[in-house]
A and B are shown apart, each in its own frame.
Chain A
Amino acid sequence: MIEAHVVNTRNKHLYEREFEEFLRRRHDYYAVANRWVPISDDGLELDPFDTPDSTYLLGMLEGRVVTSARLMPTTVPNLVSEEFPHMCENIGLPRSPEWADWTRTYVLPEYRGVGATGILGQMFCAVMEYCLDEGVTHTGGVLQQFLLKRWLDLGWKVIPAGMPRILSGDWCLVAYVEVSEVALQSGRIHAGIERSLIVRRGAQLPFITQDQASRAGAFS
């Protein structure tokens, strides 16, 4: 079972080695092996949304980061708002401190397995647990169509923001999960998890800050 460590600007120094190793492994996979993103000089895979507004969940197993998730408020520029706003024709582009943009869910290839009880199912439940703790009501973003089914299979209520479209050869869509205690419980049952997966070390930062709340607008 993974431990999902909450990492943000306040406690990032505690996770320097883990964080860098993980960015490097992502780069090996996405840039070098698959050419989905440009190769970078430092061998780390970062994008314009790796900012102080981002919170990372690093899924650790046996001392290694094997999976991850990145969450940021939809009130700051995020992948959906900057690159895929046209994919939200059903509900409009979310812009609310309680709606979290969720990206970068990745599992190291050697830890990928089938089954809801796998690492991915654990990461999904960790994200749900974190969002519930932080008062986030919805979380989601751009995802591949097959992952939508995984969310639904956990018994989660998922709002499609728009129709699926082909992005780089894969059917993808923008969708958001409703965060709730019921969703956490049904997800845990299906993924075979009996306890909390979230670990917090060092100084913490609330996901919803006064600053973000004041910047909030209605859905545009």
Chain B
Amino acid sequence: MGVQDTKVFEFIERVDNHILIDDLLDDLLQVVGDYGFQHMIYTGLPVGNNAIDPLVKTNRFPQDWWDRYVERDYAGTDSVCQQVYSTMSPFAWHEVDQRFAQRDGAAQVAGEAAEHGLADGYIVPVFSRDEWLSAISFGAATRLRLSSRERGALNLMAVYTSSAIERRQQRRPGRGRLSSREREVLLWTSAGKSCWDVSVILGISEKTVRFHTAQIRMKLNATNTTHAVARALQQGEITLGQLAESLGDAR
């Protein structure tokens, strides 16, 4: 067994020892560096026209590129992302099927990615712990020639890392299921109600509503209401039916 393989199996043994996700990602990027990769992202894939940003679990892509990707909603045009909807087989970015690569805008996204230091990459589709179509994607500054053995190693690291990240995010202190009051608050705010509106509807103080929204964001690890709604749906805290109902009431 070669030195590179040994490094991979040693990494697998260490995966669960890292307490911080950031340490795990540093370690992973160190090991995949030998294969030519400098960047990685682990994200859920959006359904329909929804944004990808709220589904990101961990992100070590260049920040300026990711900001642009999100702002311009490139997930919908990115051929690599699109191919994952049709196959669970891992592939190098440059191998993306022509039927996706030739779609409008796809070449532009690939070109801009290269300008931002992501000339090639390797993507491993997985189902998240909560059964959401997701992928770990590794990014590289130059075009890569990966052997079958190297691909196997990347797959193995991607699977162990993705599961470890999810189990850690689940365990984050203070996190737990939403209370029924928090769920109510989330549904009203998702329907566009302000904190004051919600306080009147539920007959509680505005300060209490703010406290609930802070708790919701912490429990769901969300940065804003949209993000919280996406995560709540993804984690089964609220259903699409409940959401539709609250939106209907708000009309």
Which chain A residues have a beta carbon within 8 Å of chain B's beta carbons? 89-90, 114-116, 145-146, 148-149, 152-153, 155, 157, 160, 163-166, 171, 173, 190
Contacts and interface: CB of A to CB of B under 8 A. Distances in A.
A145 B131 contact: no
Contacts of A157: 16
Contacts of A171: 89-90, 152, 155
A116 B16 CA distance: 21
Chain B interface residue number, banded: 20 to 34
Instruction: Determine chain B's interface SS by DSSP, over half rule.
Output: helix
Nearest to B129: A153
Given A145-B155, A149-B159, A153-B167, A89 B131 contact: no
B12 interface: yes
Nearest to A170: B89
B3 interface: no
23 contacts: A90-B1, A90-B5, A90-B9, A146-B126, A149-B127, A149-B159, A152-B159, A152-B160, A152-B163, A153-B163, A153-B167, A155-B167, A157-B16, A163-B5, A163-B8, A163-B149, A163-B152, A163-B153, A164-B155, A165-B148, A165-B152, A171-B89, A173-B156
B166 interface: yes
B131 A116 contact: yes
Contact of A160 (B12, B89, B148, B149): B12
B163 A146 contact: no
A114 to B, nearest CB: 5
Contacts of B88: 146
Contacts, number: 54
Interface in B170-224: none
Contacts of A149: 126-127, 159, 162-163
B240 to A, nearest CB: 15
Nearest to A118: B131
- Which interface residue of A146, A160, A165 has the most chain B CB atoms within 10 A? A160
A115 B131 contact: yes
B83 to A, nearest CB: 16
Contacts of A173: 152, 156
Contacts of A152: 159-160, 163-164, 167
List the 6 closest pairs (A to B, CB-CB), nearest first. Answer: A152-B163, A164-B152, A163-B152, A153-B129, A114-B131, A90-B9
A219 to B, nearest CB: 15
Contact of B156 (A116, A153, A155, A163): A163
